[in-house]
Amino acid sequence: MKRKKRLLTILSLALVCAIVLGGFLFMRTGHQQQSTSSTNDSAKTKTLTDLPKGVKSTDWDLVLVNKWHPLSSEMNFEKATVGGITVNARIKQAVLDFQNGARAAGYQTNLISGYRSIQYQKEVFENVKRNNIAQGMTDAEAEKATAAVVQNPGSSEHHTGLAVDMAGSDAFEKYPNLEANMDQFASQQWLIKHAADYGFVLRYPKEKSQIKQTGIDYESWHFRYVGVENAKYMVKHHLTLEAYVKALKEAGR
């Protein structure tokens, strides 16, 4: 009898422990979930409340071109050349300043690509597709394989004249076909780190959630002009152009 009583006591003690521990774990999990969601909420609210004054989603330097927002016809704007590369005339000085800044820091840079017309993109696309067909692919296979490496005509940001492919000369020498690994070079790291000072953002970051937003894999060489104020804000809040434009629209801008 005594033994049975002791067994009962031990059992009930164990039960109490299990309940307390279970409750503790439950509260902890609940608390974690709550703190996570409140972090997200505050980030969202913060984004919405301190947006730069006077900035609108329709501003010329925030034009969004991606696979979900393709252009149906060529954009009309004044063009200028920098080192033989065509860009939107409005960003010529910013490109020069960006390159001069890098030079002053000890890095030579190569401007590789700027404005591309939709027509030109069509030709590039067709050429690659023709090659794929010549390699034995069906039309559908060739189309798919081409779209994986070449932007569909109309959906390349280079159509805006506001995007440049730029690399440290040493990085470009090692990776003439432009590869993410160019960011191993101090020159490329400098460009990425200081882009916002000249009004540029690294347009296609490497974070998975951001790749989902841009629809394009990490490109350590593709810089997009958005203006100094926007660029600094986007860097500070860790925003892609997609997320920034969305926040502006949600704020009625």
Binding mask 213-242 for Zn ion (x = CB under 5 A): ---------x--------------------
Residue 179 contacts Zn ion per CB under 5 A:
no
Closer by beta carbon to Zn ion, 129 or else 222:
222
Contacts of residue 155, defined as CB under 8 A and 6 or more positions apart, other chains included, come to 65, 66, 67, 69, 70, 71
Beta strands in the chain (DSSP E): 79-82, 85-88, 109-113, 163-168, 200-204, 219-225
When binding is defined by CB under 5 A, the residue of 59, 97, 141, 165 that contacts Zn ion is 165
Closer by beta carbon to Zn ion, 92 or else 222:
222
Choose one: 69-77, 83-91, 94-102, 165-173; the region binding Zn ion (CB under 5 A): 165-173
Tokens of 140: 């559908």
Strand-by-strand arrangement of the 219-225 sheet:
109-113, 163-168, 219-225, 200-204
Query: CB of 189: closest distance to Zn ion in angstroms?
Result: 18
DSSP state of 72: S
Closer by beta carbon to Zn ion, 78 or else 217:
217
Q: Which residue is nearest to Zn ion (CB)?
A: 222
Which residue carries 């969601």 as its tokens?
A: 37
Under the rule (CB under 5 A), what is the footprint of Zn ion?
165, 222
